[in-house]
Structure 1
Amino acid sequence: MWFDSWSDLGRILAVGASAYVTLVVVLRLSGKRTLAKLNAFDLVITVALGSTLATIVLSSDVAWADGAVALGLLAGLQFVVAWLTSRRPRLRDAVTAHPTLLLHRGELLADALRQQRMSEAEVRQAVRASGQGDLSTVAAVVLETDGTVSVVPDSALGSGSALADVPGAASHRA
């Protein structure tokens, strides 16, 4: 169908604008983490928020108030899980991934690359993007919990304390 009725379009405009404003308010109240780089839990919440917004806007079976409560619930759940995981390391382990050491002192770690389904070319690309031209000048490359790749050059390693929460990094320290 190309067109149902003017009242349906009016409902979409009115409820859509209201739902959009509600989502912006909910996101502002829920804090920066909801909008940060995403780990698996944050991604699920973000997708759920988008799906809920679409349902509020397009389904005449869902009242704006019901949708607003659903958006608030999702943001509240994200807040509770974030609060709990920041205080309970075991719960954090269940919700988020661990960072993975992919390269140490210029040496690619084949087992870690295989486990994380990353290629040597992807690691070299990250090293180049960081401004390094030689793997031997890189102290560590870490696949972070949000999927980004961090490159630590030898010149910036210092004590290596930034790698303290990277499993296996301590056993690779010189």
Structure 2
Amino acid sequence: MILTPMFDSMFHVPIPILEKLLRPIVVYLVLVLLLRIFGKRELAQLNPFDLVVLLSLSNTVQNAIIGDDNSVTGGVIGAFSLLAINWFVVRLLFRSPKLTRALEGRAVVLVRDGQIDNKALKTEALTREELIEVIHRQGFEHIHEVHHCELEPNGSFYIEGKDPSIADKRHDELLTRLDALSKEIAALRSRPATT
């Protein structure tokens, strides 16, 4: 049959299946370790250089994951292996907060009461300009408007302003009005009905 050679090349796995399962797991664990060592900055993608590194990582480790295999079966086995190790690691971290802190690290405070912690910036390899850019993206004009800024283990930033934001002020105003309306309704209900 003419289709037999095509299906053989599509689905034949030239390397042992156990090796095919182990390659993605090893690469996954090494990448998790390396991202932990090199810091949160790589996850935050703060500048074009960091983004290029992250995009290049996938291409760099591709051959380590698939080996000399371009078959559909090999791709499915590799994908299964990556998803399985990720599923296992996520559940393990969910059940163990201590292990989560050890692998992910802790949040780092970069700004306290409008003052930049230069030592923390240096530890995280962030420039003052990069931090200010992040603060601007969050709607703050100046660093002195920021009460607290943390770089979270996942690379995101938590920023708390000194003064409530416009949205917070509107929310508080809305709650005050709702409370006043509730009191008026309660007062109207407590009045005896007149006929």
Q: Distance in 2 between matches of 1:111 and 1:100?
A: 11
Residues 24-173 of structure 1: pairs in structure 2 closer than 5 A: 40=35, 47=58, 51=62, 55=66, 61-156=69-164
Highest CA radius of gyration, 1 or 2? 2
Go from structure 1 to structure 2 and tell me whether the alpha carbon gap of 1:92 and 1:156 turns closer, same or farther (over 3 Å shift). Answer: farther
Structure 1 segments of 4+ aligned residues over 4 angstroms from their partners: none
Aligned amino acid, residue 90 of structure 2? A
Aligned amino acid, residue 66 of structure 1? G
How far does the alpha carbon of each residue in 1:26-49 deviate from its partner, in whole angstroms, 9 at most, with x for none?
A: xxxxxxxxxxxxx94898xx939x
Given that 1:105 and 1:138 are in contact with CA atoms closer than 8 Å, whether structure 2 keeps it comes out as yes
Q: Distance in 1 between matches of 2:103 and 2:126?
A: 22
Given that 2:110 and 2:121 are in contact with CA atoms closer than 8 Å, whether structure 1 keeps it comes out as yes
Unaligned runs of 5+ in 2: 1-5, 11-33, 37-42, 44-53, 169-195
Aligned length: 118
Unaligned runs of 5+ in 1: 1-9, 16-38, 159-174
Q: Distance in 1 between matches of 2:152 and 2:164?
A: 18
How far does the alpha carbon of each residue in 1:38-72 deviate from its partner, in whole angstroms, 9 at most, with x for none?
A: x94898xx939x827x948xx5x443223212211
Given that 1:126 and 1:151 are in contact with CA atoms closer than 8 Å, whether structure 2 keeps it comes out as no
Q: Distance in 1 between matches of 2:94 and 2:164?
A: 27
Q: Distance in 2 between matches of 1:70 and 1:122?
A: 37
Given that 2:66 and 2:74 are in contact with CA atoms closer than 8 Å, whether structure 1 keeps it comes out as no
Given that 1:103 and 1:109 are in contact with CA atoms closer than 8 Å, whether structure 2 keeps it comes out as yes
Aligned amino acid, residue 131 of structure 1? G
Aligned amino acid, residue 84 of structure 2? G
Q: Distance in 2 between matches of 1:156 and 1:142?
A: 18
Q: Distance in 2 between matches of 1:150 and 1:86?
A: 22
RMSD of Structure 2 on Structure 1 (CA): 3.6
Aligned amino acid, residue 138 of structure 2? S
Given that 2:66 and 2:78 are in contact with CA atoms closer than 8 Å, whether structure 1 keeps it comes out as no
Alignment match, 2:184 = none
Relative contact order higher in (CA < 8 Å, ≥ 6 apart): 2
